[in-house]
Structure 1
Amino acid sequence: MKKILIVIFCLLQFSFIFAASAKYESENYNLNIRYNDVITPGDAIFVRMNITVPKNHKKTKTEPEKKATLQLLQDKKVIESAPFYHLKNKKTNYTEMLCGIPVSLWLKEGNYSIKVIYADSDSDIKEFILPSKLEMRTFPEEILKLDERNTSIKTDNSPERAAQIDKLNNILFTTMPSDIFSLKKFTTPTESQRYTAYCGDRRTYVYTNGKSSTSLHYGNDYGVPTGTEVHSCAAGKVVLAESRISTGWSVVVEHLPGLYSLYYHMNELSVKEGDMVTQGQLLGKSGATGLATGPHLHWEVRLNGSAVRPEFFLNNFTFEED
């Protein structure tokens, strides 16, 4: 049996992500892999895999579905993992799968690698380490002094706020393999280029009682006036549209299995839970509801529950052909 693993760095540029390629060839199937090979704190790793089988291969009714898993390892320890999901296509003897995993905003220097585990059948399982490189990123730190209103919101330990947090987390950690609504690169939710904060900022909140707490900022803030139109960054399904104690009027849109965009502190909403939206569709208008020191839009992206820099998704992160 011929088995060859070939790694080729593509000359094509997908927006700002250079796609690396890998191939695996055997007498039973061929794998063609495209992925972003740079591991960077706050970004993600996406892998798109095409599997072809010989034309004379006839699929049987009992033939198991092809499966694969994507892993991010530190040394030999798995720190992120997710199953691939199948993309629809009309070709025979051809399977296409996609998977994305987040790279932690807290990632430290170390020895990291990307692994693909592919199962053509229960007995034919292969593992591949995809060549990659680590690029570290530094994040700014800031101190925010809160007034009485925002101190009260930030320190709210009520059952109502706890229930809202649980509800949101249940959504963000849900992965539905069939929910493939968009493979396009994202667009920004507003035309404004005035950013007042970024995803990954290290924040210290100082309360009116003199106490403080530290946390990460999980999205990008646009300094826009109340009433600015807010548009969906990609096609998807509205899975949350309500007023929350911390984030005010909020919208969450599902785009791919485990991939969600979030829009906070809005003044009014134009959609409701269950709505299907197109890329660029109006979701509502910005405001200063919830924990906000002034009018702005907080735009956040979550992958498998973890925050990822929204800028990452402004690239062709699924390696979709134009």
Structure 2
Amino acid sequence: MTHTNGSFHTYDVAVIGCGLMGSALARTLAANGHTVTAWNRTPHRAHALAGESITPALSIRAAVRSSRLVIACISTYEATVQALEPVTDWHGTTLTVLGSGTPDQAQQTQHWAEGRGATYLDGVILGHPGDIGTPGAVILYSGPPDTWTEHEPTLKTLAGASRLISQQTPDANRVDAGLSAGFFITALAAFTEAATYVLKSGIPVTVVDELTELALEILRSEAKTTTAAITTGKHETDQATLSTHAEGARVALAALRESGYPARILAAAIDNMTAAEQAGLGHLGFSAQAETLGSAMPDKTPDGTRDD
């Protein structure tokens, strides 16, 4: 198939960026029967991937012009645009950027790509290089549904549980910031903080593991209750109020700090609960914190856009 600028689509996919993750992407695509060209700012990384189905590109222009699907996996959005800047004609090509950044950076990169004639998908990888190619791996995408549909079979070879979550380009990064970092990393850090204190106090690891499983089951149920409450704005409870949780947390923090343990994450959680109490929400359920936490954020409008 001929590109509008006169070059040919020689390869199924072009992978831009051959670090640990980019290399995993290229190898997985090749292993699934796709022909791949790879380019990296330091050429030896692309040449290290050379094989039957992976061909190093001599230039960024050659890489982009040789495929209808270009996957960029570079450290930052700024570095991605800098690397791709020499290519001015992207007509007939989809640029998919996989990386973490801010929603604004994703939006700006979309505008940059579309200004050069490309269609654009934004994505965030929820995992490590070793997860790429497995059925349970997840890459979240946002962008035009028809563009996703066109490339879905290829992109799902990279991560079997991948999905398009929104047609609003910044949303993949919003989910990444909120759930991947704000929840998962914080939750893992909180568990590490708590488990260190308990295990260093001499509690057997078997007890910690068993109680952790119980806590995760409760958390799974509470998480669904919380999302429903945030969505509806209904935080009433006939169980434990926000103030009940806050008081228990303050007692625990005092106990931890009496032993010389900083418990910084627990302290931050108490700060959030205290702010909600000061706003007069202490008599409601734990989820009532959402009213103070989200007070500065613009709501989505009915058409799916935001007031920002």
Shorter-chain TM-score: which interval? Answer: under 0.3
Kindly indicate which of the two structures has a greater share of residues assigned to strand. Answer: 1
* TM-score normalised per structure 1: 0.27
Kindly indicate which of the two structures has a greater share of residues assigned to helix. Answer: 2
Highest RCO, 1 vs 2 (Cα 8 Å, sep ≥ 6):
1
